[in-house]
């Protein structure tokens, strides 16, 4: 929408032009999807069901409208979900502008109802960091809510209900020497005594004016103000002063805390500044707390002190006992608090799915009947953002009738957050043209849940959290039969601009794949993207090396293109392919001085046998790499196979081995470089299409080497290598290892203290030291 405004065109045209462009781009890159299942979120045929879903949630009480302090992007002139406000700088996820707080009536989805179930990841094979991010975002804390009665002072505060606090450390209640309310707490005005009123009101006003960043700044000294009233500690009966301070947040817990300076760092700082008493009530057993010390963090071996009847209990016992006591007095009990907030989904923008609600003066807000869906987004709207939905100035859209009484009514003009569309799109893929509902239940059973989902980690607490919520809510409403949308998740890395920043037009560091495709061809670009580094890591873009991939594909072309007929080369005599004797490589094989072990092995096996071995080893290795998403090493192994084919030709490998190797190379390469492999496959007279052939299967016997190479170490340092038949006895291997002149040179004529022999891996000769 913003881009369309910048260009002076309609968002629908801009969106559709982009869809066309991306389809074409994907096509040139050879991306192979089932295009018959394409869905477009801005198409009424899709958002009809987005609206339907909203109504299901509304009827179930999971969608509601409420006045609340919300995050507002002053540039986009729209509210944001808490998840869309990024980082300590608290910026808009879309444009990067710092957000501000506003009190507005908005639509929310009750994701908090699923907070506990969203913490259950037991069915998921997801990256640990994503699970941690979701866990932290949900932010579950167990503790207690405890009522502190207001102490009578003869004024009108006497009739005030007790003040409820939330704490995770009820065991420290005897250390509560003051109470703090958030400046926004509803009781502040009533509990402020007249003498203090002017100052308190000034403090509250100042707190409201401050941006959240300033307020949350850790650097700033804690501030607060005494409001003149007192509360009673429900267990000790102690009278403690009531303060307000902006370090207590209105939206978490109950918006009020008991101040326990001895055991909480923030309360400690606060007490120090305002000279409030600090009383230690928990200490490691047998240790006298040092009054000059700072706050004492929670430890496992701590016991309660100065805590009346609870003195002597362990901290864990104390927590249980004090909660029980408070509950018995009817003054609270166990409680759980969460950081996650309900999901704000309404947006004051044009380009989104309209929220299907109408407002009737007689019957209040009413859902649009399902048969009337979709509520169509009109095209002829002045969509410049003004802070209220542009739809408000569209008389035709606005006019509605009440579904209950038929009165004239007014349509909701806010549209839905784009993340509502993306929270369920994958469900529509199962039956994209289904008309009788959002999905065909039979297709749903066949396809869902998604077995492997790939995407960026930036969706951790956005799309991935919302989608889980949707599936659970729809399951509970009887629409789905599974608990999780995405069983396995893998995060790909992000390719950054050459300047190490995210690619963006404004930075001018965007790489356009079209130019590379035009220059090198799609297969080269695809292969290079796979080869550039680990798929899950990402990193700065550098085109260095794309030439190497291009050369590789050129070599494959040259190898596979002309059917090889009767190429004749000198063949070095193979050394007894059947039963080669064990031998030490260096020094003991005449003339083997400069020969690498691989070369020697090939020499012994014979070039045909060696090529077939490498071919079948490559099948296994590349298949495993693909399945593990290790594409960079898969490509390097394909390069090695192509090098081996070149060596085999050079050494006179027979045609059968060469042709098998080439066919295998093409088959393994086909997913990565679909175009060139298809063409070569056809040139070689193989049946169409290479992409419909069975995946090659490795023959274990062919993949097994006739000889294995064993490193020989002395004291952990490599000194020699042994080429032996796989079935050589351990005793023979150790005898050969010790017989090595290079090993002997490091033994100084003394017998070894020990020989560590890991069969098939290595031999380590340990000297007495």
Residues 81-140 within binding reach of RNA (CB under 7 A): 86-88, 128-129, 132-133, 136-137, 139
Within residues 227-246, the interface with RNA by CB under 7 A covers 246
Cβ 628 to RNA, closest distance in Å? Answer: 9
d(CA 190, CA 399): 44
Select from 255-263, 311-319, 324-332, 384-392 the region that touches RNA (CB under 7 A): 255-263
Q: Establish whether the linkage from the previous residue to 594 is cis, with ω within 30° of 0.
A: no
- Measured from the Cβ of residue 293, the count of other Cβ atoms closer than 10 Å reads 11
Within residues 410-449, the interface with RNA by CB under 7 A covers none
Cβ 268 to RNA, closest distance in Å? Answer: 11
Cβ 250 to RNA, closest distance in Å? Answer: 7
Within residues 495-534, the interface with RNA by CB under 7 A covers 531-534
3-state secondary structure of 74: coil
For residue 329 the two structure tokens come to: 């007095």
Contact 140, 116 (CB under 8 A): yes
Contact 755, 734 (CB under 8 A): yes
For residue 430 the two structure tokens come to: 């199962």
Considering only 75, 102, 490, 721, the residue that binds RNA (CB under 7 A) is 721
Cβ 635 to RNA, closest distance in Å? Answer: 7
d(CA 479, CA 481): 7
Contact between 668 and RNA by CB under 7 A: the answer reads: no
Within residues 616-635, the interface with RNA by CB under 7 A covers 630, 632-633, 635
Considering only 53, 556, 719, 722, the residue that binds RNA (CB under 7 A) is 719
Q: Which is nearer to RNA, 451 or 504 (CB)?
A: 504
Within residues 453-482, the interface with RNA by CB under 7 A covers 457-458, 460-461
Print the binding letters for residues 256-275 with RNA: x by CB under 7 A, - otherwise.
xx--x---x-x---------
Considering only 292, 506, 512, 544, the residue that binds RNA (CB under 7 A) is 544
- Three-class secondary structure assignment of 441-489: HHHHHHHCCEEEEEECHHHCCCHHHHHHHHHHHHHHCCCCCCCCCEEEE
Pairing of strands 163-167, 141-148: antiparallel
d(CA 229, CA 150): 8
Size of the site for RNA (CB under 7 A): 90
Q: Which is nearer to RNA, 75 or 222 (CB)?
A: 222
d(CA 670, CA 676): 8
**DSSP line for 343-384:** EE-EES-SSSPBP-EEEETTTEEEEPPGGG---PPPS-----
Phi, psi of 73 (to 5 degrees): -90, 115
d(CA 554, CA 47): 47
Question: What are the counts of helices (DSSP H) followed by strands (DSSP E) for the chain?
Answer: 26, 30
Q: CA gyration radius for the chain?
A: 36
Contact between 552 and RNA by CB under 7 A: the answer reads: yes
Considering only 67, 159, 161, 218, the residue that binds RNA (CB under 7 A) is 218
Considering only 542, 567, 689, 729, the residue that binds RNA (CB under 7 A) is 542
Cβ 18 to RNA, closest distance in Å? Answer: 25
Within residues 56-85, the interface with RNA by CB under 7 A covers none
Q: Which is nearer to RNA, 226 or 531 (CB)?
A: 531
Contact between 54 and RNA by CB under 7 A: the answer reads: no
Contact between 745 and RNA by CB under 7 A: the answer reads: yes
Q: Which is nearer to RNA, 205 or 718 (CB)?
A: 718
Contact between 253 and RNA by CB under 7 A: the answer reads: yes
Within residues 558-587, the interface with RNA by CB under 7 A covers 586-587
Cβ 427 to RNA, closest distance in Å? Answer: 26
Within residues 321-340, the interface with RNA by CB under 7 A covers 337, 339
Select from 415-423, 433-441, 509-517, 705-713 the region that touches RNA (CB under 7 A): 705-713
d(CA 65, CA 105): 7
Residue 689: C-alpha distances to residues 28, 673, 692 (Å): 19, 14, 5
d(CA 488, CA 119): 16
Contact between 539 and RNA by CB under 7 A: the answer reads: yes
Contact between 222 and RNA by CB under 7 A: the answer reads: yes
Select from 27-35, 114-122, 731-739, 760-768 the region that touches RNA (CB under 7 A): 760-768
């Amino acid at each position: 929408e913003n881009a369309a405004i910048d260009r002076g065109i309609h968002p629908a045209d801009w969106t559709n032009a982009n869809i066309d462009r991306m389809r074409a781009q994907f096509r040139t890159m050879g991306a192979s999807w089932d295009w018959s299942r394409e869905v477009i979120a801005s198409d009424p045929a899709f958002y009809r069901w987005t609206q339907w879903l909203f109504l299901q949630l509304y009827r179930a009480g999971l969608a509601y409208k409420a006045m609340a302090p919300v995050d507002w992007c002053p540039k986009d002139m729209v509210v944001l979900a808490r998840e869309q406000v990024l980082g300590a700088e608290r910026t808009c996820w879309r444009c990067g502008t710092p957000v501000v707080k506003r009190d507005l009536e908005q639509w929310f989805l009750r994701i908090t109802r699923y907070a506990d179930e969203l913490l259950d990841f037991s069915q998921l094979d997801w990256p640990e960091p994503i699970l941690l991010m979701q866990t932290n975002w949900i932010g579950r804390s167990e503790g207690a809510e405890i009522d502190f009665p207001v102490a009578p002072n003869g004024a009108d505060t006497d009739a005030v209900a007790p003040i409820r606090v939330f704490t995770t450390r009820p065991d420290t209640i005897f250390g509560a020497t003051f109470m703090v309310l958030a400046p926004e707490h509803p009781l502040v005005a009533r509990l402020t005594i007249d003498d203090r009123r002017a100052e308190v009101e000034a403090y509250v006003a100042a707190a409201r004016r401050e941006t959240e960043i300033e307020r949350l700044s850790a650097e700033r000294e804690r501030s607060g103000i005494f409001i003149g009233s007192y509360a009673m500690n429900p267990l000790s009966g102690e009278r403690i002063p009531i303060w307000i301070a902006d370090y207590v947040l209105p939206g978490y817990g109950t918006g009020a805390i008991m101040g326990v300076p001895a055991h909480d760092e923030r309360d400690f700082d606060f007490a120090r500044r305002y000279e409030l008493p600090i009383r230690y009530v928990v200490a490691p057993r047998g240790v006298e707390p040092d009054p000059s010390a700072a706050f004492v963090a929670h430890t496992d071996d701590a016991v309660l002190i100065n805590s009346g009847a609870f003195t002597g209990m362990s901290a864990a016992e104390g927590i249980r006992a004090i909660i029980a006591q408070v509950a018995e007095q009817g003054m609270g009990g166990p409680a759980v608090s969460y950081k996650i907030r309900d999901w704000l989904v309404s947006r004051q923008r044009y380009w989104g799915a309209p929220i299907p609600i109408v407002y009737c003066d007689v019957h209040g807000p009413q859902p649009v009947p399902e048969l009337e869906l979709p509520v169509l987004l009109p095209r002829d709207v002045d969509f410049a953002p003004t802070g209220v939905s542009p739809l408000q100035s569209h008389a035709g859209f606005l006019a509605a009738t009440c579904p209950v009484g038929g009165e004239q009514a007014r349509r909701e003009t806010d549209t839905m957050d784009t993340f509502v569309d993306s929270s369920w799109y994958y469900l529509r893929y199962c039956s994209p043209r289904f008309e009788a509902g959002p999905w065909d239940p039979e297709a749903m059973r066949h396809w869902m849940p998604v077995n492997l989902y790939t995407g960026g980690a930036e969706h951790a607490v956005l799309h991935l959290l919302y989608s889980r919520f949707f599936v659970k809510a729809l399951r509970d409403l009887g629409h789905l039969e599974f608990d999780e949308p995405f069983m396995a998740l893998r995060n790909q890395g992000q390719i950054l601009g050459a300047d190490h920043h995210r690619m963006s037009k404004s930075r001018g560091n965007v790489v356009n794949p079209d130019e590379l495709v035009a220059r090198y061809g799609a297969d080269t670009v695809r292969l290079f993207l796979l080869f550039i580094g680990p798929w899950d890591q990402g990193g700065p873009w550098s085109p260095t090396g794309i030439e190497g991939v291009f050369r590789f594909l050129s070599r494959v072309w040259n190898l596979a293109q002309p059917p090889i007929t009767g190429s004749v080369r000198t063949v070095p005599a193979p050394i007894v392919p059947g039963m080669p004797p064990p031998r030490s490589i260096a020094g003991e094989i005449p003339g083997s001085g400069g020969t690498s072990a691989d070369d020697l092995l090939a020499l012994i096996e014979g070039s045909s046998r060696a090529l077939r071995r490498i071919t079948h080893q490559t099948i296994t290795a590349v298949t495993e790499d693909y399945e593990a998403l290790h594409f960079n090493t898969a490509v390097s192994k394909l390069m090695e196979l192509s090098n081996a084919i070149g060596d085999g030709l050079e050494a006179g490998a027979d045609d059968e081995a060469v042709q098998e190797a080439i066919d295998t190379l093409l088959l393994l390469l086909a997913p990565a470089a679909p175009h060139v492999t298809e063409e070569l496959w056809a040139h070689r007279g193989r049946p169409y299409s290479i992409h419909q052939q069975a995946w090659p299967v490795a023959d274990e016997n062919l993949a097994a080497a006739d000889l294995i190479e064993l490193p020989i170490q002395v004291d952990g340092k490599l000194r020699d290598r042994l080429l032996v038949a796989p079935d050589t006895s351990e005793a023979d291997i150790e005898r050969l290892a010790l017989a090595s002149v290079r090993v002997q040179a490091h033994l100084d004529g003394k017998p070894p203290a020990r020989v560590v022999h890991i069969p098939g891996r290595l031999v380590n000769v340990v000297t007495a030291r």
